[in-house]
Structure 1
Amino acid sequence: MTDEILKGKLAFLREAEQLKDVLRSAHTSSGRQESTAEHSWRLCLMVLVFEQELAGLDLQKLLKLCVIHDLGEAIHGDIPAVSQAAHPHKSEQERADLLQLTRSLEPSLRDSLLGLWEEYEAAATPEARAVKALDKLETLLQHNQGRNPENFDYGFNLGYGRRYTSATPLFQTLRELVDEDTRRHLGQQATEA
């Protein structure tokens, strides 16, 4: 391994640090906006926690997909789930941003990271579909756990990501449990209104 390859990897890691400052629309339980890096961290944690239930899937690939899935957001930021329909070119922008972010890496590593992102984006494998489902569930968990503004749209949660969370009995059951929390929040909002 040459010094130039190592310098390129360090340059990439310095740029990827931007993901720590990319804020999402979700709030933490203390009321501050969460970062995309925090979301990705808990997504990785979910894979580890549900490792037994995900038996038969490649754990290393699951974790790689979790780490890479939102990495392109380091450049142009996150588009909140409630606004994604208004951004039909989101995927193309994220891909371009990921290419920019990985430009200092040697081609084989850059292609590997881009390949993981493309696999996730296309939900092309059982691992990618599992990470898609967990990604949606993590978002819903944060919506329900966070100290949100009074006008937070909990109703959005009930339809969000169903395409992926309906894919297996595990994800269906997790979804039902998370939806119970959402309905509780909706009930509380109704009584406070």
Structure 2
Amino acid sequence: MANERLLGALDFLREAERLKSTLRSGFTSTGRSESTAEHTWRLCLMALVFSDEFGDIDPLRLIKLCIVHDLGEALSGDIPAVLQTERFDKSAQERADLKELTRALHPAKQAEILALWEEYEAASSPEAVLAKGLDKLETILQHNQGRNPVDFDYAFNLDYGRKHTSAHPILAEIRVLLDEETRVRAGGSKTR
């Protein structure tokens, strides 16, 4: 029985490896496309670095939420925020993909991962609220740091995820710093 759990976990991990090749719309500081795995890694690092600033939260839960938040993208890929429409239910697609991706796991572990993802999606805990805000901030940080095309729309970042980055005073403080960087990257001409 334990052997089946281990084999299922290894199958899942092999499938999840796809996140290393799932590209996002952002670029690294060297100019190559960023992967979802790289985004998730730095999001988790942000959660670790800022966790002491957030008060009475469970840092491990925060990191777990960050780890699973984009896991479903291993199957259908990332849909950049600028391309998302009301007609396409990104959340439903990601949930279905996550359920498929975790199918080889022991049912209890699959349920745990799905529950963490649902918690993140609904922002139903203090940690999930922080994870959502950090997710938006990591994206903006990467856009500000990346070697982007000359026509990159920095103005989009000035509104991107504002609801989530306003949900905690520390998130809002980081947002102010990143918005200032965004305006500098945009050449100072795009302010809101």
- TM-score norm. by structure 2 comes to 0.96
User: Does residue 31 of structure 2 align to residue 31 of structure 1?
Assistant: yes
Alignment of 1:1-193 (within 5 A): 2-85=2-85, 88-187=88-187
How far 1:87 moved relative to its partner?
5.4
CA contact (8 A) 2:183 2:189 kept: no
Tell me the TM-score normalised to structure 1 length.
0.95
More moved, 122-131 vs 87-96:
87-96
| RMSD between aligned residues | 1.3
Give the distance between the partners of 1:189 and 1:13, measured in 2 at CA.
45
- CA separation in 2, counterparts of 1:47 and 1:90? 24
Residue 96 of structure 1 deviates from its aligned partner by: 0.4
Superposed displacement of residue 88, structure 1: 2.8
1:90-148 superposed Cα distances (whole Å, 9 cap, x missing partner): 10000000000000011110000000000000111110000000000000000000000
Give unmatched runs, 5+ long, in structure 1: none
Please identify runs of 4+ aligned residues in structure 1 that moved more than 3 A: none
Which one-letter code corresponds to 1:112 in the other structure? E
3-state SS, counterpart of residue 117 of structure 1:
helix
Give the secondary structure class of the aligned counterpart of 2:137.
Answer: helix
- Give the match's secondary structure for 1:148: coil
Give the share of equivalent positions with the same residue, in percent.
61
- Find the aligned partners of 1:177 and 1:20 in 2 and give their Cα distance: 29
Which residues of structure 2 form unaligned runs of 5+? none
- Provide the rounded CA distance (Å) in 2 between the counterparts of 1:110 and 1:98: 9
* In structure 2, distance between residues paired with 1:138 and 1:26: 11
Question: How many pairs are equivalent?
Answer: 190
